[in-house]
């Protein structure tokens, strides 16, 4: 089969979309490909298949000259997430399963290895019921709809590796990156009020500004003849932001861009190989959708004292959402024909890309809701920023593989990391707080040309309580499977 045909099919699959992942090194998967994932995610310095395009592209150059390889994979993440607050029933997230296909093709000819691949990068996702405290907006009866989040990022990757000599290989890739996001978020009066300084908000957790905010401030503070000479509104009971397509494969707000990776390996001896890689920060455009709404529930003279829901239709642009830079290095030690020991270190630069979650809501010029039109909200803009202040993440990945026979290999490892999310700003819709993982897996040779590999990772429960008093418990497990054909 010609590489152009295989690459075309891979790229087509990638552009069709990739499911949202609930990842566990921040928003990254703890490991890419079941060979590496079974050994704690370590992947810098040995041949771990086509997953190298997500790990260290230079390891593709460790293939045999003249060989080709095709991988088809599926991964599953099964998070167990719950949120609780004093005096409230615990809210369990119903987003408990995410599935991620991946595939790729590479060929080594002489000193060059080239190909194409498509992989899910990672993301986050939760969903809480409409009758949970997460959806209540802080008022009895709630906001009438569930709350949920999904963030997914995938890549179509074109790698190239070059074997400089019998000790050194170098490699790199150009990555086409796409991202999708859904958000159905309820804000209580206190949460939304905190964002608006002219209404007394302390702006501890974020800030909101723009013409829509100015109009709201006027409605709460300026006496108007139409409202009997007093301010038209006296209370904002809750607010919601909604944009979601409820699909497992796409997000309502979408954006695309590019990134690149560089890497190298050095064979110190017949047993010891070192490796290192650099993954660039992405250059994604804004994540945009024209199918969004900003809904407020208000009370005052303008509503004759009755709580009234005011939906405002419009479009959303999530600003400067990027995937972080990663630096990784590691070693692989082939102790004998049976035993391989691996160890990696990664530094993931969340601090640079997760300082704020920023979006702009622009109301449609014509509003179907009469109250929204009466307040003159058509065409107005709200810029909203929610502070995140993530830390950079250090990840230690340790593992090993033991060949029990000519057909069966067993693997195991650990993935140890700090939680990058500060407790104060942790949002239960985005609880990327997992830390440690225990991993394992097997590889089985089916024939001289094909084999399968499977990995499992257990995520012990991590807990965090944010500044609003909401505690999130996060745990679960994940699994990956790949079928490989080499010829």
What pLDDT, in 10s, does the model give residues 300-327?
999 999 999 999 999 999 999 999 999 9
pLDDT-based confidence at 13, cuts 50/70/90?
A: very low
Which residues have C-beta within 8 Å of that of residue 56, sequence separation ≥ 6?
Answer: 43, 44, 45, 171, 261, 263, 264, 265, 275, 276, 277, 328
What is the Cα 141 distance to its own chain's centre?
32
Give residue for tokens 């993931």: 348
123: β partners:
152
12 pLDDT above the threshold of 70:
no
Q: Where are the domains of the chain?
A: 3-486
**Rg value, the chain, Cα:** 25
Q: In angstroms, what CA-CA distances link 324 with 35, 282, 387, 417, 418?
A: 24, 7, 17, 16, 16
The single-letter DSSP state of residue 467 is: T
Give a three-class secondary structure readout of 174-203. Answer: EEEEEEEEEEEEEEEHHHHHHCCHHHCCCC
pLDDT-based confidence at 3, cuts 50/70/90?
A: very low
Percent of the chain with pLDDT over 70: 95
The backbone torsions φ and ψ at residue 315, rounded to the nearest 5 degrees and listed phi first, read -125, 155
Tokens of 202: 């302390």
Tokens of 103: 């595939």
Give residue for tokens 């709350």: 147
122 pLDDT above the threshold of 70:
yes
pLDDT for the residue numbered 125: 86
134 pLDDT above the threshold of 70:
yes
8 pLDDT above the threshold of 80:
no
- For strands 235-243 and 147-163, give the pairing: unpaired
CA distance 164 to 40: 29
pLDDT for the residue numbered 26: 92
pLDDT for the residue numbered 23: 60
Per the prediction, the chain carries an average pLDDT of 93
For residue range 320-331, list pLDDT tens digits in order: 999 999 999 999
Tokens of 124: 């986050």
Q: Among 334, 356, 465, which Cα is nearest to 409's?
A: 334
Which residues have C-beta within 8 Å of that of residue 141, sequence separation ≥ 6?
Answer: none
Q: In angstroms, what CA-CA distances link 32 with 45, 75, 162, 223, 449?
A: 14, 9, 22, 60, 22
> 10 Å Cβ neighbour count for 339?
12
CA distance 233 to 240: 18
141 pLDDT above the threshold of 90:
no
5 pLDDT above the threshold of 90:
no
pLDDT for the residue numbered 124: 81
pLDDT-based confidence at 267, cuts 50/70/90?
A: very high
Tokens of 88: 């409230």
Beta strands in 404-470 (DSSP E): 408-417, 437-445, 450-465
6 pLDDT above the threshold of 60:
no
pTM confidence score: 0.93
Instruction: Judge whether 466 and 387 are in contact, CB under 8 Å.
Output: no
Which residues have C-beta within 8 Å of that of residue 76, sequence separation ≥ 6?
Answer: 97, 98, 99, 100, 478, 479, 480
Burial of 218 from C-beta contacts in 10 A (0-12 / 13-18 / 19+)? middle
Q: What do you get for the CA distance between the two ends of the chain, in Å?
A: 11
Q: Which CATH number fits domain 3-486: 3.40.228.10, 2.40.160.60, 3.40.50.970, 3.40.109.10?
A: 2.40.160.60
Q: Is 152 helix (H, G, I), strand (E, B) or coil?
A: strand
Q: Among 120, 122, 186, which Cα is nearest to 150's?
A: 122
CA distance 161 to 144: 54
CA distance 376 to 286: 27
Sign of CA dihedral 281, 282, 286, 292: negative
Beta strands in 3-97 (DSSP E): 68-84, 91-92
What is the Cα 419 distance to its own chain's centre?
15
CA distance 389 to 88: 28
Tokens of 66: 């003249």
């Amino acid at each position: 089969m010609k590489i152009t045909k295989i690459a075309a099919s891979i790229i087509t699959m990638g552009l069709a979309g990739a499911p949202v992942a609930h990842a566990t090194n921040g928003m990254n998967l703890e490991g890419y490909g079941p060979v590496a994932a079974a050994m704690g995610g370590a992947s810098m310095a040995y041949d771990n298949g086509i997953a190298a395009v997500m790990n260290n592209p230079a390891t593709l150059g460790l293939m045999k000259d003249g060989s080709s390889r095709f991988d088809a994979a599926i991964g599953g993440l099964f998070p167990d997430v719950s949120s609780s607050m004093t005096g409230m029933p615990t809210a369990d997230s119903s987003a408990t399963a995410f599935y991620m296909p991946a595939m790729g093709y590479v060929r080594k000819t002489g000193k060059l290895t080239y190909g194409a691949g498509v992989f899910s990068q990672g993301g986050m996702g939760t969903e809480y019921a409409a009758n949970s405290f997460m959806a209540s907006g802080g008022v009895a009866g709630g906001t009438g709809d569930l709350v949920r989040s999904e963030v997914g990022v995938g890549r179509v990757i074109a790698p190239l590796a070059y074997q400089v000599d019998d000790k050194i290989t170098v490699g790199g890739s150009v990555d086409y990156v796409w991202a999708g996001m859904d958000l159905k978020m309820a804000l209580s009066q206190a949460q939304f009020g905190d964002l608006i300084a002219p209404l007394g908000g302390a702006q501890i957790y974020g800030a909101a500004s723009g013409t829509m905010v100015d109009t709201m401030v006027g409605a709460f503070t300026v006496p108007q003849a139409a409202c009997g000479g007093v301010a038209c509104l006296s209370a904002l009971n809750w607010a919601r932001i909604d944009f979601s397509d409820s699909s497992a494969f796409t997000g309502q707000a979408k954006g695309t861009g590019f990134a690149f990776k560089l890497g190298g390996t050095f064979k110190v001896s017949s047993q010891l190989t070192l490796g290192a890689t650099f993954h660039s920060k992405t250059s994604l455009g804004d994540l945009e959708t024209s199918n969004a709404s900003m809904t407020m529930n208000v009370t005052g003279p303008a509503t004759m004292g009755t709580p009234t829901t005011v939906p405002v239709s419009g479009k959303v642009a999530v600003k400067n959402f990027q995937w972080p830079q990663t630096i990784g290095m590691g070693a692989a030690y082939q102790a004998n024909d049976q035993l391989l020991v691996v160890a990696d270190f990664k530094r993931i630069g969340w601090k640079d890309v997760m300082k704020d979650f920023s979006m702009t809501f622009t109301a449609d010029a014509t509003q179907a809701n009469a109250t929204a039109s009466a307040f003159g909200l058509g065409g107005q803009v709200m810029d909203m920023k929610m502070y995140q202040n993530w830390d950079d993440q250090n990840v230690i990945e340790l593992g090993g593989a033991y060949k029990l026979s000519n057909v069966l290999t067993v693997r195991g490892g650990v993935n140890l990391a700090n939680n990058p999310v500060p407790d104060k700003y942790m949002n239960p819709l985005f609880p990327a707080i997992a830390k440690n993982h225990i991993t394992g897996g097997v590889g089985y040779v089916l024939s001289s040309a094909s084999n399968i590999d499977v990995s499992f990772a257990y995520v012990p429960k991590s807990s965090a309580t944010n500044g609003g008093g909401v505690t999130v418990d996060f745990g679960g497990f994940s699994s990956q499977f790949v079928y490989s054909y080499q010829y």
